[in-house]
Amino acid sequence: MDASSPAMNVLAQTAGALLRARLTAIRYAAEGIHRYEFSAVDGGALPAFTAGAHIDLHLPNGLVRQYSLCNDPRETQRYVVGIKKDAHSRGGSSYVHDQLKVGMVMSLGAPRNHFGLHEEARHTVLVAGGIGVTPIACMVQRLRALGASFEVHYSVRRREEAAFLEVLSGPGLHLHVDTEQGGRPLPLAGIVARVPHDAHLYCCGPAPMLDAFEAAAAGRPAGHVHLERFAAASSVAAEGGFTVQLARSGRSVFVAQGCTILDTLRAEGVAVQASCEQGICGSCETRVLAGTPDHRDSLLSDEEKRANQVMMVCCSGSKEATLVLDL
C-alpha cells in the first residue's frame, strides 16, 4: 500500500467508535464457512465502508477478532462477514460458529481499510485462497459496479470449500480446485506474468500463497501489489531499551527489554486502541513525529515503512534511543 493509497487514511476514519449491532442472519456459505449478517440495533444506516475493509467483532467471551466485509459497499443496512471454523481456533472462529445465535446484540468496531482498491486501475487482478475470498468478494462487487476491468483467481482445496460463488461467478472468474488439478497449486507466476504491467494486483489467502504471490510480483511497480495477511509475518519487537516521548501529554516512558510499546503504554495508564496485537489489523496505528521505528507489522508497504510517518505500536519498536509519538 503506498502513501497515496485510498486505504491510507485510516486515522481519519471512525477509529475507536463501537457500534451496537444485531446478528440478524447466519447462513451456510461453504463447507466449514458461515455468513454472518449484522444490522444496526436501531435499524438505521451503518457507517459506510469501502471494498477491502474489515470490522472488529467484539465477542461475548472477551476476544476481539477482525473479519473482512464481503457484501456490496453500496449496502448501508448490513455488514456481512464470512467466517471459517478454524480447527486450530484460539477461541475466535470456534466461538463464533458454536455460540453465536441470531438475535444476539454485539459490539462492532467501525470499518477500517488497509486493503483498499485503487479504483482508477486500468486492470485489476484479484487472487484469493480459501477464506481469503471474503475481501475479494467485496472487491468484485465494487469493480462490477464501476464497470472496471478485472479478473479473479480463486483457489480452494476442494470444490465444497468454495464460498461466495454466487457473487464471484461471471466473466473473469477462474476457480482453481487443487484436487481437480492433481494437487497442483494456483500457478501464480504464470498469472502474474500475463497481466499488463500497470495492473493492480491483490492477494488474500494463507501465508504460503501470499509468499508465492509476493515473489511472483516482485518485479511489479511499487504500490501496485497489495496483500492482506491473517497472521503476523514477523515477530513483535520486544528488545526494548528506548524511550517513547508522548508529544501531547509531554510524558516519557521507557520501554524495557521484553516489552512492546503497547505493553509499556498500558502499564503507564496511557489508553491506546489495539485489537490483534500482532500487526495485522491497524487498530493501534499511531503517528510518528520523530525517530525511526523498527517496523514489524504486516500492513504498511515498504514505502510507508520508509516514510516513518505512522507505526503499529503493538508490534513495532525503535531503531533509535528516542521515539516521539503523537500520543
Rule CB under 6 A: which residues touch ligand FES? Answer: 274-277, 279-284, 297, 312, 314
* 18 vs 145 by CB, closer to ligand FES: 18
Residue number of the CB atom closest to ligand FES: 314
- Smaller CB separation from ligand FES, 189 or 307: 307
Angle at Cα 207 formed by Cα 181 and Cα 298, nearest 5°? 150
Minimum CB distance to ligand FES, residue 293 (Å): 13
Residue 305 host element (H or E)? helix 302-307
Query: Least separation, in Å, of the C-beta of 199 and ligand FES?
Result: 28
Amino acid at residue number 151 = E
Shortest separation between residue 11's beta carbon and ligand FES, angstroms:
13
The least CB distance from residue 272 to ligand FES, in Å, is 9
Radius of gyration, alpha carbons of the chain: 20
317 forms bridges with which residues in the sheet? 294
Q: Which C-beta is closer to ligand FES: that of 50 or that of 66?
A: 66
Residue among 297 and 304 whose Cβ is closer to ligand FES:
297
| Whether 311 contacts 288, CB under 8 Å | yes
Nearer to ligand FES, 209 or 284 (CB): 284
CB of 274 to ligand FES, least distance (A): 4
Residues 6+ apart with CB under 8 A from 299: 1, 114, 279, 280, 281, 282, 285, 312
Task: Write phi, then psi, for 177 (nearest 5 degrees).
Answer: -105, 115
Task: Tell me the C-alpha distance between 254 and 286, whole Å.
Answer: 17
Polymer length of the chain: 327
* Nearest distance in Å: CB 124, ligand FES: 26
Nearer to ligand FES, 134 or 298 (CB): 298
Q: Which is nearer to ligand FES, 81 or 236 (CB)?
A: 236
Q: Which three cell numbers stand for residue 223?
A: 504500490
- Nearest in space to 3 (alpha carbons), one of 116, 85, 158: 116
3-state secondary structure 104-154: CEEEEECCECCCCCCCCCCCEEEEEEHHHHHHHHHHHHHHHHHCCCEEEEE
Q: Quote the least distance from Cβ 113 to ligand FES, whole Å.
A: 13
